[in-house]
Structure 1
Amino acid sequence: MPALDLAASPARDRAPFRRPWLVELRATLALSGPLVLINLAQHGLIMADVVMLGRLGAEPLAAATLAHGLYFILFIGGIGLTSAVAPLIAEALGRDPGDRDAARRTLRAGLWAATLVCAPVMLLLWFTGPLLAALGEPPALAEAAGRYMRVLQWAMWPALLFMALRGTLAALERPAWALAASLAALPLNVALGLWLAFEAGLGMVGIGCATLASSLFSLVLLGLVVLRDPGLRRHRLFHGLWRFDPARLGRVVRLGLPMVATGLAEAGLFEAAALAMGLFGASQLAAHAVAIQIAAFCFMVPNGVAQAATVRVGLAFGRRDAAAVRRAGAVALGLALGFMSLCALTQLSVPEPLIGLFLDARDPANAGVLPVAVAFIGFAALFAVADGIQSVTLGMLRGLQDTKVPMLIAVGGYWGLGVPVGAGLAWGLGFEGAGIWAGFCAGLFVVAALLVARWRRLVAGPPARRPERPTVSISTP
């Protein structure tokens, strides 16, 4: 990576203080708003599945949680590659707003990367049942999770292609169509899932079929929009789609692989927790599923802000505008901090109504789950703020195309600290699931603090006495 020297600011940054900050706030809100809603709509698909699975009973919910955990840890790895599309396009457009080839070639490379990664991943997912059984999960849960996965896994390829398209539209600052496709897929998923699971009697498998259908639907709909919308047609995004471009694919892979490792480090932490919860019994695993869904739903907002921050920082980085880089990061970080603080207060104040969205409190079978879920939500509230900060700071750093050091921070924080702390508390001190959640908190707080320090180090100015620090030269026009 070239050096990041953000000391020099363009002359236009001597404008009155308020206007640039208000302009940046409006631009970030305008871009992050649709991206947040897209994340909420897509997570709404997951939450709808969890609600329907919860109505099938605690054991189907527990089995599906195991399957979802394995699916999403690999899916997030694929997202890491497709996430390289947005910062590369944003940087190119910041450097030359008239460059139409950058979006087309980078999207094409992202689609190729998503396709190439899906084949081995889906082969692995086919053996989910035997894999979970080998890891010590109860045989009945492992068998049910494997049966569910053999339908769910086919949704991965269209979902990753959709993510590449969504990143492209975000970099072009046209995210509304991706939002429309996501919103249209949500009622389809719910209606089809209810009919297949309960009316047709397919149970878990029916819910998996609905997820697959909604993923295909949203991809096809967004593809049609790209072909028909006049503002997008001029970019010829699908022109030469099957042409193999090793140079551009190499750029996507080089930037994306550290993102893959970062995503896998975090997702792996949560998947390890789900596997550990299964060893403590179905009640703790079901409670964990509820708490993690509530936490993940809140996380969709800073995740959308992070995606907007990648684009806003990337555009400023392409212009070599140091002050705009700093403003974009500060605005995004402030939005995430405020929202996640509100989420934490809500989770601490009204945990029971939140749990009631997923589990029937009147059902005697859930009596052992409810108090455990309340305790887990308390821990989720503690790390909510740190989770938002680390997500947005990662997005800011990706806008600078800085992904390798953040990867090392994430791996070290989650697995070097979070996992040992969680395991020690869960088994060594007998706190079981609560100890696992305490490990989450420890890892997230450390990662968030180190990522913020990394950002400040890169944008603070020239490294007069630290030549080893990576820098990106931004000169005055």
Structure 2
Amino acid sequence: MFSIYTKEFSTNIRLAYPVILGMLGHTLIGVIDNIMVGRLGATELAAVSLGNSFVFIAMSAGIGFSTAITSIVAQGDAAKDNKMVRSAFHHGLLLCTVLGLFLFGVVSIAKSLMSGMHQSPEVIALAAPYIDWVAFSLVPMVIFQGYKQFADGMSLTKYAMYAVIFSNVIHVFINYVLIYGVWFFPKMGMLGAALGTVISRLAMLAYMHYALSHNAKLKQYFTNFSFAEIKASMLKKISALGLPSSMQMLFEVALFTAAVWLSGYLGKTNQAANQIALSLASMTFMFAMGLSVAAMVRVGNQKGLRDYVQLRVVARSIFLLAIIVEIVFAILFMALHNYLPHWFVNADDALQLQDNTEVIKIAATLLIVAAVFQISDGIQVVVLGALRGLQDVKIPTVITFVAYWVIGFPISFYLGLYTPLKATGIWIGLLAGLTAAALFLYLRFNYLTNKLIAGQEPALKTVDI
């Protein structure tokens, strides 16, 4: 029975692994910041956590919006409709540029909210200037996503991987010399990490444009651009798919961001421990994110071919692969939960020994909970990818809101602030929200594919181009 799914594994992996490596590269930028800044102290690590929480919310909105480009391009590519592909790329890139600038402005204004969030004053003082720089990096980051999602939709997933690897090399170097003041470079501490993020993301965007525009298959989409080609119908189509997808990702990331803020209310050691566990969980989540993109592309292809039986086989093969991968990570987290937090703090620093010891202890406990929710998190994101490939976004948006904010957040809030569980209680709420999302999103996918196979097109609106 499983053989019909496992025979798809090789195709899934070939498509997903460059995306996984690219997504890991994005996450690695944050992890590098955490490791290098964590050596400066728990206060600095907590400040990076607080600062990045604002940026990650905005970035999730940008990434979620851009996924609309992939599903349309994948459908057009399978149907050999170059006009659809070109239109989706040009309109999507324009919308991503506008969105990147908008998100930069929103984060710059929103940083003033920190003073009313019951965060440590010393943490706020360090986080504010850090946010100014990292918020600007949203502009090249979201524009890059426009290029990336276009390439992913064309099943050319390696370009983004190479771009992210290139940017990480730059990021590590700049971080090292500017955080610690190596050679003739000034010692900038946290601001050095922020500047490294900005420069590396600008480099990533430049690389991606150059690489795609010089690809023989893609050159046709980089010539003769004109604003006269911009049509309201395509802007509406991408927005109709992108805005709900943006909200889906926003609801999840906002829940994890709320965990950062709740843990900050408990104190800087809880906030630093939360950031350690979140950094590690984010790295493993990128494997599921890569498989989610594979699901979106392959389901979009099958939708273009109208082969709905194979569509469900392909999607379920990706779901199964994600479960296997996340079980492996869950086992690793359980086995290494006492050792992994040591990567992020300097346990030999006598001046901060008490704080660092407490951070390690709390983070180790959080990793046990993180081990359990690996599976739920993996399932919900790959099913979301399949639903985006079907261009079904409205009902999944409602599902994610209910799962994360009606179920997950109240549990996190109560267990974290009103029980002795504290940070562990916050993460139990995350687990509850992710599990609810995984269950109901799969039921939605199963319902839609049953109708498609039965020859009953679900009421999913499309826009003519």
What residue in structure 2 maps to residue 87 of structure 1?
71
Map 1:22-421 → 2, pairs under 5 A: 24-94=8-78, 96-97=79-80, 99-199=81-181, 200-233=186-219, 235-237=220-222, 239-240=224-225, 242-243=227-228, 244-363=230-349, 364=353, 365-421=355-411
Question: Offset of 1:271 from its aligned partner?
Answer: 0.9
| Residues 50-80 of structure 1, C-alpha deviations (whole Å, 9 max, x = no match) | 1111112111110110110110111111112
Contact 2:9 2:321 in 1 (8 A): no
C-alpha separation between the residues in 2 aligned to 1:121 and 1:461? 38
Contact 1:340 1:384 in 2 (8 A): yes
SS at match of 2:338: helix
Question: Offset of 1:471 from its aligned partner?
Answer: 5.1
SS at match of 1:362: coil
Number of aligned residues: 451
The equivalent position to 1:470 in structure 2, one of 443, 454, 458, is 458
Question: Offset of 1:140 from its aligned partner?
Answer: 2.1
SS at match of 2:221: coil
- The 10-residue stretch of structure 1 (36-45 or 215-224) with the greater mean CA deviation from structure 2: 36-45
Question: Offset of 1:129 from its aligned partner?
Answer: 4.3
What residue in structure 2 maps to residue 448 of structure 1?
438
Gaps of 5+ in 2: none
C-alpha separation between the residues in 1 aligned to 2:295 and 2:91? 22
How has the CA–CA distance of structure 1 residues 119 and 341 changed in structure 2, closer, same or farther, with 3 Å as cutoff? Answer: same
How has the CA–CA distance of structure 1 residues 472 and 381 changed in structure 2, closer, same or farther, with 3 Å as cutoff? Answer: same
How has the CA–CA distance of structure 1 residues 73 and 463 changed in structure 2, closer, same or farther, with 3 Å as cutoff? Answer: same
Contact 1:107 1:237 in 2 (8 A): no
SS at match of 1:84: helix
Gaps of 5+ in 1: 1-15
How has the CA–CA distance of structure 1 residues 221 and 258 changed in structure 2, closer, same or farther, with 3 Å as cutoff? Answer: same
Contact 2:31 2:279 in 1 (8 A): yes
Q: Report which structure shows greater RCO (CA 8 Å, sep ≥6).
A: 1
| Residues 216-240 of structure 1, C-alpha deviations (whole Å, 9 max, x = no match) | 101101101122222221x323541
AA aligned opposite 1:283: T
How has the CA–CA distance of structure 1 residues 421 and 241 changed in structure 2, closer, same or farther, with 3 Å as cutoff? Answer: farther
AA aligned opposite 1:330: R
SS at match of 1:361: coil
C-alpha separation between the residues in 2 aligned to 1:181 and 1:339? 25
SS at match of 2:119: coil
C-alpha separation between the residues in 2 aligned to 1:241 and 1:135? 46
C-alpha separation between the residues in 2 aligned to 1:72 and 1:238? 34
TM-score by length of 1: 0.90
How has the CA–CA distance of structure 1 residues 275 and 376 changed in structure 2, closer, same or farther, with 3 Å as cutoff? Answer: same
C-alpha separation between the residues in 2 aligned to 1:411 and 1:393? 16
C-alpha separation between the residues in 1 aligned to 2:86 and 2:299? 21
